[in-house]
Structure 1
């Protein structure tokens, strides 16, 4: 079975109780189920990885060469996650950066991602639906 890497960065493990006015009430488990349901008809499964440590995320990217593509929500690592950026630069498959909130409608320091120039695409501000849209896009981008 082919796997889609679902990579979530710092503080995303506490979704559902973390600033629900910004991030909503869906948990990371809810999002994982949403993505799994989207890709299952294609015969894909999801390899979910959430870590608060950048080094562990880098390791997950390195270990993910056998996946078909990735959805990456780096959280605040979008701002200065240079080692994550370097790992994703070497990731051999399409990947889409996703953010639950519209980062450009928030504090100015969130307005630039060091990862986005490398991403196949970027989705922000649509809540959990952004993950579903990223999964749909990867289904279209990846040939079986």
Structure 2
């Protein structure tokens, strides 16, 4: 097991801060990364922080994270569609935390079903970008 924490972000999260700020707020993905780095630095761990709109890249990073300290993932639009991401997560030996900036259960019904939740150790939704911090902190708890 390595002392690396992976934080993976799915499609459209590169637009965080400008895309639907009434739902996702004004914080940027760089703000998310800064929060995660603070926790990793305090725990003498390395952070691998990635975002992609491409499903195959997310799967490649999940496979890299298999024996890491832990994995935090916001699958975004792939939450409700990607069996491939779920299958990749099943290969992980590390703790997995699913994060959503908004409360997906308060939104459209199609967002209520996650392929990731069933394989995650925990799910954090509705706390804005602080959900990422909570998830990374949990890895070190």
TM-score category of the 2 structures, normalised to the smaller one: over 0.9
What's the counterpart of residue 63 of structure 1?
Answer: 64
Give the CA deviation at 1:120.
0.4
What's the counterpart of residue 82 of structure 1?
Answer: 83
1:124-139 matches, within 5 Å, as: 124-139=125-140
3-state SS of paired residue (2:115):
coil
Structure 1 gap ranges (5+): none
What's the counterpart of residue 111 of structure 1?
Answer: 112
Q: What TM-score do the two structures reach when normalised by structure 1?
A: 0.94
3-state SS of paired residue (1:5):
strand
What's the counterpart of residue 16 of structure 1?
Answer: 17
Runs of 4+ in structure 1 deviating by more than 6 angstroms, as ranges, are none
2: CA distance between counterparts of 1:3 and 1:25? 28
Give the CA deviation at 1:66.
4.2
Give the CA deviation at 1:42.
1.1
Structure 2 gap ranges (5+): none
1: CA distance between counterparts of 2:10 and 2:99? 11
What's the counterpart of residue 38 of structure 1?
Answer: 39
Give the CA deviation at 1:27.
0.6
3-state SS of paired residue (2:80):
helix
3-state SS of paired residue (1:93):
coil
Q: What TM-score do the two structures reach when normalised by structure 2?
A: 0.96
Moved more, 37-46 or 86-95: 37-46
Instruction: Please provide the CA RMSD for this pair.
Output: 1.1
2: CA distance between counterparts of 1:68 and 1:136? 12
Moved more, 63-72 or 115-124: 63-72
